[in-house]
Amino acid sequence: DTGVSQDPRHKITKRGQNVTFRCDPISEHNRLYWYRQTLGQGPEFLTYFQNEAQLEKSRLLSDRFSAERPKGSFSTLEIQRTEQGDSAMYLCASSEAGVTGELFFGEGSRLTVL
Amino acid sequence: DQQVKQNSPSLSVQEGRISILNCDYTNSMFDYFLWYKKYPAEGPTFLISISSIKDKNEDGRFTVFLNKSAKHLSLHIVPSQPGDSAVYFCAAITEGSNYKLTFGKGTLLTVNP
């Protein structure tokens, strides 16, 4: 399978703990995005990488959130000191340069904060 | 402020009939629009798109219509099939926004056999 893969698919944690999600994009895609989706809502943009450079961050991304994409390949999204409001599906997507808007999404990582 | 609105949370149609999903937007700077389909436990998948310089784009059973003056777009599926049952998201892009998508809340389409 050469699609976007995310790990873990589901994470249950206690409030205050740190969690990290990993995304492996389609290998030839240089753009990588993180989105968050809560129940009854559409995906909301969190952050964008072009190769290894993080070019944009949403104001939704508080200081407790950090994302990296070392070497322009896989990406990680870390949430520190989780809160119950962080419970959501975290979606990673990748795309090719020059293709408008056609993002390839992974299956998502569902976070439940107790 | 919801810039992309899908006011119908759900839609139910009979197999073989037309499904029409609607989307309204408020940001006049949007210049590219897309529809994504999402099955349970899967990520959204790209379906069809349209540039703001066009008013129609067709791909097989799927056609997207854009009415810029009304800030409205719609997705037509003809004929509808049970496998089309999914959540459909309308999304929009502003030029120069790093291709960042702004999504609506989605419409759950159910196609009954």
What tens digit of pLDDT does each residue of B33-80 get? Answer: 999 999 998 999 999 999 999 999 999 999 999 999 999 999 999 999
Residue A109 · residue A42 · CB < 8 Å: no
The answer to whether residue B34 neighbours chain A at the CB level (below 8 Å) is yes
Of the two residues B67 and A72, the one the predictor is more confident about is B67
Average pLDDT for chain A = 93
Could you write out the DSSP letters of every residue in B23-37?
EEE--TTEEEEEEEE
Q: Is B32 close to A45, i.e. CB distance below 8 A?
A: no
Band of pLDDT at residue A101, cut at 50, 70 and 90: confident
Q: Is B99 close to A101, i.e. CB distance below 8 A?
A: yes
Instruction: Tell whether the torsion through CA atoms of A22, A27, A32 and A37 is positive or negative.
Output: negative
Write the burial class of residue B112 (CB in 10 Å: 0-12 exposed, 13-18 middle, 19+ buried): exposed
Residue A86 · residue A111 · CB < 8 Å: yes
The answer to whether residue A100 scores a pLDDT higher than 80 is no
The answer to whether residue A97 scores a pLDDT higher than 60 is yes
Q: Which residues contact B6 (CB under 8 A, 6 or more apart)?
A: A42, B21, B22, B23, B24, B88, B89, B90, B104, B105, B106, B107
Tell me the shortest Cα–Cα distance from A59 to chain B, in angstroms: 14
CA A65 from centre of chain? 10
Task: Count the helices and strands in chain A (H runs, E runs).
Answer: 0, 11
Chain A residues with CB within 8 Å of chain B CB = 4, 31, 33, 35, 40-45, 48, 50, 55-56, 91, 93, 95, 100-108
Least confident among A22-26, A56-60, B107-111: A56-60
The pLDDT tens digits of the residues spanning B10-37 come to 999 999 999 999 999 999 999 999 999 9
Give the pLDDT confidence score for residue A96 in this predicted structure: 86
Q: CA-to-CA distance for A100 and B30, rounded, in angstroms?
A: 13
Residue B105 · residue B25 · CB < 8 Å: no
